A and B are shown apart, each in its own frame.
Chain A
């Protein structure tokens, strides 16, 4: 997994550096241009992520590290999916309904056994957040198709 992460960083660094070439290194008046920083940061990123990637790759090849699924990976993936859906539906359902459903979903992932407690928290936490941020602090929560 580590090598995959450093590999992704390495590929990103190469892309960032190539993209950096699109901007002028020196501008029309001979001064340092908008491409100066992107290029140098990109080059340094390629160097450092390259070192990290090849170091990690060496470990994988030498020790034949096999991929072990982390124990709580499912919980993390489900939480991530719930958060993704929550953000996607924020403008559609409106903040209040989306928050209630989101908190309920999160508790269903982590605390499946206690449905009554989950239901109470699913209503009180979003309501508290709504009253604090939207009513008191005028945060401007999205209203969605239901108008609230």
Chain B
């Protein structure tokens, strides 16, 4: 009952003409960002954050939520039409999306992805409403040791999901932590790595870093790949007059997929570090496993598109749980959102649901409204987005560059921050080129000061003893989780070495 009351209160906040207008603008702009190759929710929110500065915080955050969701929706259109995912979370959507389009099912595929995104997002929002208050209640008993361990788990998870590139993942997270140390140490007042520059006393703000890594870095990488040269897109044409709606068979084939994808996506999205990409890939393989016609997957089978689409949108909702209830972001996009919250003086965490209920529930309700707006925009404006998609990339480049540079300058009117953005644009290009994780850098940069403060507060209360991490029940569980996360890759590494030696002996 509480949930319904809270949601109604949230709707009363979100459903004002101005909020609905900016939610629609956010969703629309997000869709456009999602269509641009390489640009996903993180880049969208980071680059467009400067547009929300003069707004009321609730309206601004609602618009950002619209951008967050919109870019997830938009990323799939390019996956289906040109076999180029807008970002990593829509990679799995190319597996069956593009073959469907090749089979002449462009309209049904685009409608189904919109419906799947809507179902995933809606179930995700309902689950947020159900789980967030409980999580917040549990989190209220957490102290600095638990927070430190949770942050450590978040960062470790981000490294673990890097697959074969765990070392690069670790380097990325450590670089983010190193950058987070620039500025005045809040406990002793010592200046660290500031080199006497007054602009660095408050530390390196995460947003220029995020805009550089995700905006400029992605743009340079796209140009490196020749995206600006025309004629490299094998686009499948979309005719509105042809078959537009999915067939009855396609609806019935995908019934169970909608539910499975949504729930799996949400719970994976809740795990720090895992995010929408892992959720969409896992959902696709789960669907393939449970399907009686698994051989059809990869050849243009509708459930193969529905599975990743429901999962990635539900995961985006799931990722809001640790952000809203613990104040700990689990992905690059939610890290940027956290930065935005802090900028408006809103501190997400266990107390936010009770101290800022209008904001928290307004945001949750706006996500629900965002889904409704997005499905309408998606179905009725598909031809328009396809036209936008046809704008040559080389003409989009100056727009992105201007938004990145001038947007960064507008943050605080700081030239130093603009230079920092440019430097991280170059670093971001090389990180993307050599499989490092820009998301881990941003996440660690945001989480770094929280981790340091939590650890130092813990050690002050224990007079330097680390035993507290195994003395409190929740801390003990979290410590065990960390140990397991550390030990499993190590065992795999040793096993790999062992197998390699055996194979070499056999070969000899």
Q: Give residues in A with beta carbon < 8 Å to B.
A: 2, 5-6, 9, 16, 19, 23-24, 27, 30-34, 36-38, 41-42, 44-45, 48-49, 51-52, 55, 70-73, 75-76, 79-80, 83-84, 86-87, 90-91, 95, 99, 102-103, 106-107, 110-111, 121-122, 125-126, 129, 132-133, 136-142
Residue B239 is within 8 A (CB to CB) of chain A in the complex: no
Bound form: Cα–Cα A3–B425 in Å: 20
Residues of A within 8 A of B193 (CB): 19, 38
> Which chain B residue lies CB-closest to A4?
B430
CB A147 to nearest CB in B, in angstroms, measures 17
Determine if B422 and A16 form an interchain contact, defined as CB atoms under 8 angstroms apart.
Answer: no
Per-residue interface assignment for chain B, residues 370 to 409, with 1 indicating a CB less than 8 Å from any chain A CB and 0 otherwise: 0000000000000000000000101101110111011101
Determine if A38 and B410 form an interchain contact, defined as CB atoms under 8 angstroms apart.
Answer: no
Determine if B54 and A138 form an interchain contact, defined as CB atoms under 8 angstroms apart.
Answer: yes
Determine if A111 and B422 form an interchain contact, defined as CB atoms under 8 angstroms apart.
Answer: no
Determine if A32 and B402 form an interchain contact, defined as CB atoms under 8 angstroms apart.
Answer: no
CB A46 to nearest CB in B, in angstroms, measures 10
Determine if A90 and B418 form an interchain contact, defined as CB atoms under 8 angstroms apart.
Answer: yes
Residues of A within 8 A of B181 (CB): 37-38, 41
Bound form: Cα–Cα A34–B402 in Å: 38
Determine if A48 and B167 form an interchain contact, defined as CB atoms under 8 angstroms apart.
Answer: yes
> Which chain B residue lies CB-closest to A75?
B223
Residues of A within 8 A of B88 (CB): none
Quick one: which of B396-435 are within 8 Å of A by CB? 397-399, 401-403, 405-407, 409-410, 413, 415, 418-419, 422, 425-426, 429-430, 434
With beta carbons under 8 angstroms apart, the residue of B185, B192, B405, B463 that contacts A86 is: B405
CB A52 to nearest CB in B, in angstroms, measures 5
Residues of B within 8 A of A41 (CB): 174, 177-178, 181
With beta carbons under 8 angstroms apart, the residue of B51, B422, B429 that contacts A133 is: B51
Given A38-B192, A111-B394; 5 other pairs, CB 8 A cutoff: A38-B178, A41-B177, A42-B178, A79-B401, A142-B413
Per-residue interface assignment for chain B, residues 171 to 209, with 1 indicating a CB less than 8 Å from any chain A CB and 0 otherwise: 100110110010001011010110000000000000000
With beta carbons under 8 angstroms apart, the residue of A36, A70, A141 that contacts B406 is: A141
Known A-B contacts A76-B429, A79-B401; the reply to A140 vs B413 at CB < 8 A is: yes
Q: Report the 5 A-B pairs with minimum CB-CB distance, sorted nearest first.
A: A139-B410, A34-B185, A110-B394, A34-B190, A103-B398
CB A89 to nearest CB in B, in angstroms, measures 11
Q: Count of A-B contacts with CB under 8 A?
A: 159
CB B105 to nearest CB in A, in angstroms, measures 35
CB B174 to nearest CB in A, in angstroms, measures 5
Determine if A129 and B403 form an interchain contact, defined as CB atoms under 8 angstroms apart.
Answer: yes
With beta carbons under 8 angstroms apart, the residue of B54, B188, B402, B409 that contacts A102 is: B402
Residue B224 is within 8 A (CB to CB) of chain A in the complex: yes
Determine if B223 and A32 form an interchain contact, defined as CB atoms under 8 angstroms apart.
Answer: no
Determine if A87 and B174 form an interchain contact, defined as CB atoms under 8 angstroms apart.
Answer: no
Bound form: Cα–Cα A106–B403 in Å: 14
CB B497 to nearest CB in A, in angstroms, measures 14
Known A-B contacts A38-B181, A70-B224, A126-B402; the reply to A90 vs B415 at CB < 8 A is: yes
Known A-B contacts A48-B167, A76-B223, A139-B50; the reply to A110 vs B228 at CB < 8 A is: yes
Bound form: Cα–Cα A48–B168 in Å: 8
Bound form: Cα–Cα A142–B188 in Å: 36
Determine if B422 and A83 form an interchain contact, defined as CB atoms under 8 angstroms apart.
Answer: yes
Determine if A125 and B399 form an interchain contact, defined as CB atoms under 8 angstroms apart.
Answer: yes
> Which chain B residue lies CB-closest to A17?
B178
Determine if B220 and A84 form an interchain contact, defined as CB atoms under 8 angstroms apart.
Answer: no
Bound form: Cα–Cα A137–B403 in Å: 14
Bound form: Cα–Cα A5–B224 in Å: 17
Determine if A102 and B401 form an interchain contact, defined as CB atoms under 8 angstroms apart.
Answer: yes
Known A-B contacts A32-B464, A84-B422; the reply to A49 vs B171 at CB < 8 A is: yes
Determine if A27 and B410 form an interchain contact, defined as CB atoms under 8 angstroms apart.
Answer: no
With beta carbons under 8 angstroms apart, the residue of B51, B223, B224, B464 that contacts A137 is: B51
Bound form: Cα–Cα A137–B50 in Å: 9
> Which chain A residue lies CB-closest to B52?
A137
Known A-B contacts A72-B224, A110-B228, A140-B413; the reply to A30 vs B402 at CB < 8 A is: no
Which residue, of B181, B398, B426, has the highest number of chain A Cβ atoms within 10 A? B398
Known A-B contacts A31-B460, A129-B406; the reply to A76 vs B178 at CB < 8 A is: no
Bound form: Cα–Cα A38–B188 in Å: 14
Determine if B228 and A75 form an interchain contact, defined as CB atoms under 8 angstroms apart.
Answer: yes
Residue B235 is within 8 A (CB to CB) of chain A in the complex: no
Bound form: Cα–Cα A5–B428 in Å: 12
Residue B102 is within 8 A (CB to CB) of chain A in the complex: no
Determine if B53 and A87 form an interchain contact, defined as CB atoms under 8 angstroms apart.
Answer: no
Q: Which of B123-131, B268-276, B451-459, B477-485 contacts A (4 or more CB under 8 A)?
A: B451-459
Residues of B within 8 A of A36 (CB): 456
Bound form: Cα–Cα A132–B459 in Å: 49
Q: Can you offer 19 A-B residue contacts whose CB atoms are under 8 A?
A: A30-B463, A31-B460, A38-B178, A41-B178, A52-B167, A75-B223, A83-B425, A87-B415, A87-B419, A102-B402, A106-B401, A121-B395, A121-B398, A133-B50, A133-B51, A133-B407, A139-B53, A139-B406, A141-B406
Residue B115 is within 8 A (CB to CB) of chain A in the complex: no
Residue B82 is within 8 A (CB to CB) of chain A in the complex: no
Bound form: Cα–Cα A38–B168 in Å: 19
Bound form: Cα–Cα A45–B444 in Å: 14
Bound form: Cα–Cα A139–B228 in Å: 30
CB B183 to nearest CB in A, in angstroms, measures 11
Known A-B contacts A34-B192, A106-B397; the reply to A48 vs B464 at CB < 8 A is: no
CB A69 to nearest CB in B, in angstroms, measures 12
